[in-house]
Every structure is written in structure tokens, then in C-alpha cells.
Structure 1
Amino acid sequence: MKSKKINILCSTVDRAGQNIKEHLLLKGEWEKAKNLPEAWEELAGVYENKDYRIIEIDQHHIYQDRIDQKMKKYGFDTDLIIVASKHKSSDGRSVLTAHFTGNVKSADFGGKPYELSVASPGIMSSILKNMQTQAREANYEINMESTHHGPSDIRIPMVYAEIGSGEKQWSDPDAGEIVARSILEAEEMDLPVAIGFGGGHYASRQTKLLLEEDIAFGHNFPDYQLADIDKDLIEQAFLKSGADFAYFDRKSMPSAERERIREIIEELGYPILREGDIKELKGLEWDRFLRIRYMAEKLCSGGRFRITDRLRSQYLNSEGWVQEGNNLKDSEISSKLVQETFSADRGSLLNTLEELPLVYIERDNGTISNHMIIPAEHVKITMQDITNECIKILKEHYEVKYAPQENLLYIVTERFSPMMAKDMGINPGPLYGKLANMETVTVNGKTIRPDMVHERKIKEIPLTNSPNNPTRS
């Protein structure tokens, strides 16, 4: 079945739209329709090529509710409308934007109150990324805008691609060229889709995530609209965006509104992902990611999971990986071993974990959970590797002994004792620092060695795995 052409809508009263149209017509061969349907009075022109159709009207497109139905009625049926338009702002910034349409409380600029258009997140993501690539040499910002203005009564996906923010930019041929190419080179991107909450009209944090991570955004509600959105509108946003999860620009959201919206989203059955979660999505199928997230939350509620590059490249992206995640297993290592290693050398512990095929979890306080997620067929050897590397790290800081019969590890620590120093007749002061740094000092003609004022303690660590080549007692 032949696919329908993509309709690019522009208006004769929109200078930026005309600029984009002029550059579209310079690319490839376009045929101008000679006989326009007389009944469509505002139709000013139609241009077609193999894959696209430019539809030009002499009224502003933001007031064109149901224009998709009008297109179909007059023989210009399509599954996607891209609107070439201007973006207007009093600050006069040079910016290229894309966004979806719809209204929250009022409909002062087209559309209807509390109605959202059907979004095309994959296409908008592609357009914005194309803009970013094309505009590297131009002095233009790239931004996803929050949902605003009409039309809202549209039954097929629609996305606006815009030049902003004033007469100078609207007529800029470089901007017209960039947006025209970004539209023609746009491809549907199959990515997990978020509904955004918070931030300003220019959704800067959402834009950054869209451009840098493997996600797309559907409708987005800025912080100044949050008090006016309700359950029905939130559900409408998810359904009309085909969204998978929600993202909060948390710092910009009033806490009461954030909590209210969180409860609605959870009631609707959608997850809310933090920025750290989204970064872990890179390169993963959505179902695989959800499985790992579910397992991590079950093991350490509220923690932040980290998928190591080795697990991601060797297992999660391989064709042989079981999609349901049944070959991933939660594994537990000695909590005391992890705790002592973390305290001794956090950086070395994290480097060790990053070199292994696993998922580890950071608690809210920054410490590392002793629960790991590991491919089932590699649990034994990976746990063995973690144990060995932790012992190696501890040996760099402490005296370490291993009792194989009990499978216990002993670490011997020495710490400067102010009380022992005081008993030796040393008053608090610079000498304490020298002794703590293992320097010998002289007090009243008496030599005081560091070992004389250091307290020796032995900590016992039960192991869940027997180490290879341990330091034996």
C-alpha cells in the first residue's frame, strides 16, 4: 500500500513560513497544482513532489481546527502535518523551535480550552536534532517549546517547526534553509516518549535530554500551567502523545503541584523517570529498561541504578538477550565488604564495578548497595571478581587476613588515639598531627613513636563468596 504524502502547511501571512517554503521549493522537483478546489476559499497554493505536499493558505494556521479533515475532503489526505511557522518573542532571540499544539485553561490563540492536538514525538525529535546539526555554524539556539496555541482539534499528528523570534530572523535565508532541510530530512524515530512537566516556555532541560539522550517528548506543560492541569488533561497528553513515562523538571515545580501530579500519573499507571534514569536508557529497548528498573527498585527502593558499559555492550544490546529479562538475576554480596571498601576508596570501588557486566545501585545517601543485578550465567564469576577486587582495594589501605574455615575476612586498622597520647603526657596541638601522620616526636626528652599512640582494631567481615588466592592468616 502506497504511503501518504507528508503535508507541510504554511501561510501567506507568516513571513517565516514563506521563508521556509521558498527554501523547500529549491530542493528537488515540485509541481504546482493548477486547479485548486474553489470551495476551499482560503487555499492559496499546493506544491507536490514524490513524498511531500506543501499546502499554502492565506489565513493563520493556528486558527485552523480540523484542517486535517479539510485536507482529506479536498483530496490532500495525509498521516502527518508539519507546520512551517514563525516563533514570536519580545526578547528577539535567534532561535529555531519545534512544539505541539493545544491549550490548558484558555484558548486565546486558536484551538479549544483543555484540548491537545495529536503529537508526533519521533518526528519532532528528528526535526530538532536535524536543526542542531544544520545550525552548527549559525548563531541560533535550538529549543523545544512547551505545548501552546491552536489548532487543537486535529485527528492526525501535527508538529510545528519554527524560526524565531523577530522580523530579522523570520526573513533570514540561512534560517529558512536550516528549517527546510530539517523538515525534509526528518524521519520517524522509535524512541521511548515522555510527557514533560515543569520548566519554562522554552523547556530547556527537556530540550537537553531530547537532544542528548535516547528519548522523545510529547506534550510538555510549563510550571506556570501546572495548577490548571487535571487528570483528564494529563491522560489526554499521554494518549495523544503515545507516551511511555513522565519527566519532571523537579526544581521548577512547586512541591504541592509536583506531589498532586505525581499521584495522578501513578494512578494512570505510568512511571516517572528522573534524569539519571533517562541516561541509563541509552541504547536499550524500553521493555528491557523497565525490567531492570523494576528489579533495581525492588532491591533498593529509591536508589539510582547504574548499568555498566560492559553489561550494556556485551549483553543488553545482543540479539540473544531474553527480552523479558529472565536471564538477569539479583545477587547479594557481603554488605560489610562493600561498606568497608566504599569507606576506604570509593573511586576504586566504582571503577571496579564499572569494569564488570552488572547493574549496581547507589542509595540516596551516595553509598553503594550490596545488591547487584547480573546475567544469571555469570553470577558466580562476577561475584567472585567483586570479592577479589574489594579485597585488593582493602589491602592497599589495611592489613588484611582471611580465615578460610569460617570464610571470614579480617581487616586490621590503626588509628591515632588522642586519649592514648594524652596518657603519654602529650597535650593537644601540632604534635597530634605529626603522630597521626605516623611521625615520631620527642616530648620532654622522651621519644614517642606513632605505634605507641595508635589504637589497633580488628574488623570481622563475613563473606558470601570465597576469594581466590586470599591473604591467609
Structure 2
Amino acid sequence: MTKGITLSLSDPAGQTMLPLFIEKGFKEITPNIYRKDDKLLITAEPLIVPEERFKVPETPRPYPLDYTALAKQYELEYIAVASRHWAESGKPSLTAHPTGNFGKAMYGGKHRELQYTAPNPMRNIYLHLRDNPPEGFQVSLEATHHSPTEFEVPMFFVEVGSREEKWRDVDVCDYLVDCILTGMDEKEEKPAAIGFGGGHYCPMFSEKIKEYAMGHMAAKYAVDLLSDDLIQQMIQKSSNPEYALIDGLKGQQRKKIEALVAKTDLTLL
């Protein structure tokens, strides 16, 4: 099947990366859609993740594109979103993460809904991010957060951060583009897992990535929001993982996860 990539032309990082994809051989086959071999690049005019909290632009619908329809039309296995990353710290970073809302939808998507993700493709790209990052860059997974949530095609974000200087840095964005393209060519697969606990930047899960392909991850701050429905979404939308990993949870939070996982077929590690 074809592997999908998407970026926003309203995102400074997307603006930097589009010419790099073209330089690497992507040809426009129809307005805003480019192809190279088994990879399809889709460009969107709006930001893929809305910028304002609790407010999604009225148009287009679905926002920002109908990725479900595009995936069916072009037979896409999954879509990697090449994007900027913002962090209050401003530290240079390269990240990867699934998307979804464990609680209220602050930045797009629907309340308490998770997006389908692709654990092994995200793992393979992430491992390349770790290979030889630009000097001074932190590389990590992130816990599941923000939109999109409603599309039927698996999606995940691959990001460069955390300020406009880095979003417009051609060398850094070129490294990210190369990691996406090279990672997409990898065939290695590891058992899929979902994760609970730890901080937003998932220190334990970022290390366990050598052994497991991480699907949805609920950081410690999201554990109290979890329900049977959300656990089922984490499973069903993470390629039906075999394992659940816990990072540092104690007391009532750990008991809650153990009880929720006990109702599933997951092996708790």
C-alpha cells in the first residue's frame, strides 16, 4: 500500500519542508498532492491542528482535509504528519506522537476521542530521529494529545521544535524529512504496546521503543480521565497491542490502571 505524508502550508515548518520533499523527487500529480514511488505527500492550506484553544474554524469540514476519503482514494496505509512542535521551554527538539483527546478537545478533534495510529511505522521513523540528530536537539516521544481524532486512516505526528528559528532551519527540517522517508522504508516490526504514566515526553516509553512499538500513551496527568471506553479506544486504535506498560504510577492511579487493564487481553508489564 501507499504511505502517506501530510503537512500544512500555514505551518512555518511545513513551508520549509515542502521544497525539500520536492528536491527529493516528489512530483505534483494533482493540485496539492505529490507522489514519489510508494509515498504520497498531501499539503493542506489550514493548520492541521487549530491554533486557538477550544475553537475550530467553521470551514473546511472535516477540518483540515477529509483524510479518510483521501486514504481510500489513494489506498494509504497510514499518514505521517510533518509538523512544527511548540514547547514553553523553547528547547530544540524532534518528537513523534499519536493524537487524541483523553478529556476536553482543547486543540481540535472531539472530546474523549482518540485517532487511529500506526505503532510500527511511528517507531521506525522515531528510531531514525534518534540516529544522528542535529547538535543540541532533544529527541523523544510525546504522550497522545491534540487533534485530529476522527479519521479512519492511522495517523501520527513527526515534529521539529520548538521555535520559529528551528521551524525555518533548512538543515534541521531536511534531517526530519530524511528520517520520515527512510523510516517509511523500514520493514522491522516489534510487538505493539500502549503506555500509562510518566511525563508528557515519555522518558520510559522513549527508551522501550527498541523493544516495543508504542501506540497511544496516556501521561500521568491524563490517567484520572481514563475510562473503559478510552482504554478500548487505546487498544483498537493502536493496532490491537499485546502489552500495556506502566511508568512510575503509584497508589490509586496504579490500582486504577491495573483494574482497567484486567478487563482486557493485554499483558501488563
SS at match of 2:23: coil
Determine the structure 1 residue equivalent to 2:162.
165
Name the SS of the counterpart of 1:115 in structure 2: coil
1:201-212 to 2 correspondence within 5 Å? 201-210=200-209
Q: Are the counterparts in 2 of residues 197 and 220 from structure 1 also a CA contact under 8 Å? A: yes
Structure 2 residues without counterparts, runs of 5 or longer: 51-62
Higher relative contact order (CA 8 A, sep 6+): 2
1:46, 1:103 → 2: CA distance? 28
5+ unaligned residues in a row in structure 1: which ranges? 37-44, 274-473
Letter matched to residue 175 of structure 1? V
* Cα deviation 1:286-307 (Å, max 9, x = unaligned): xxxxxxxxxxxxxxxxxxxxxx
**Larger-gyration structure (1/2):** 1
Tell me if structure 2 keeps the 8 A contact 1:200–1:222.
yes
| Counterpart-to-counterpart distance in 1, 2:14 and 2:130 | 19
1:69-127 residue CA offsets vs partner (Å, 9 max, x unmatched) = 23157x44412111110110111001000001100110010111111111111011111
Q: Where do 1:247-258 residues align within 5 Å?
A: 247-250=245-248, 253-258=249-254
Q: Is the 8 A contact 2:71 2:77 kept in 1?
A: no
**Does residue 176 in structure 1 map to residue 163 in structure 2?**
no
Once the two structures are superposed, residues 184-229 of structure 1 have per-residue CA deviations (whole angstroms, 9 ceiling, x without a partner) of: 011243111111111111111111221xx32111000011111111
Q: Which residue in the other structure is 1:222 paired with?
A: 219
The aligned amino acid for 1:272 is L
1:239 aligns with 2:226: no
Residue aligned with 1:102, SS: coil
The reply to whether residue 57 of structure 1 matches residue 44 of structure 2 is yes
Once the two structures are superposed, the pairs formed by residues 1-150 of structure 1 within 5 Å of their partners are 3=1, 5-27=2-24, 29-33=25-29, 35-36=30-31, 45-62=32-49, 64=63, 67-72=66-71, 75-135=73-133, 137-150=134-147
Structure 2 CA distance for aligned equivalents of residues 55 and 31 of structure 1: 11
1:65 to 1:13, Cα distance in 2 relative to 1, 3 A: closer
Amino acid in the other structure paired with 1:130: H
TM-score (norm 1): 0.52
Higher helix share: 1
Contact 1:79 1:156 in 2 (8 A): yes
Q: In the alignment, is residue 264 of structure 1 matched against residue 255 of structure 2? A: no
SS of match in other structure, 2:126: helix
- Cα distance in 2 for partners of 1:69, 1:248 equals 32
Superposed, 1:303-322 pairs within 5 Å as none
- One-letter amino acid of the structure 2 residue matched with residue 32 of structure 1: E
- Secondary structure of 1:103's match? coil
Q: Structure 2 CA distance, aligned partners of 1:259 and 1:142?
A: 31
Q: Work out the number of aligned pairs and report it.
A: 254
Aligned partner of 1:154 among 151, 173, 193: 151
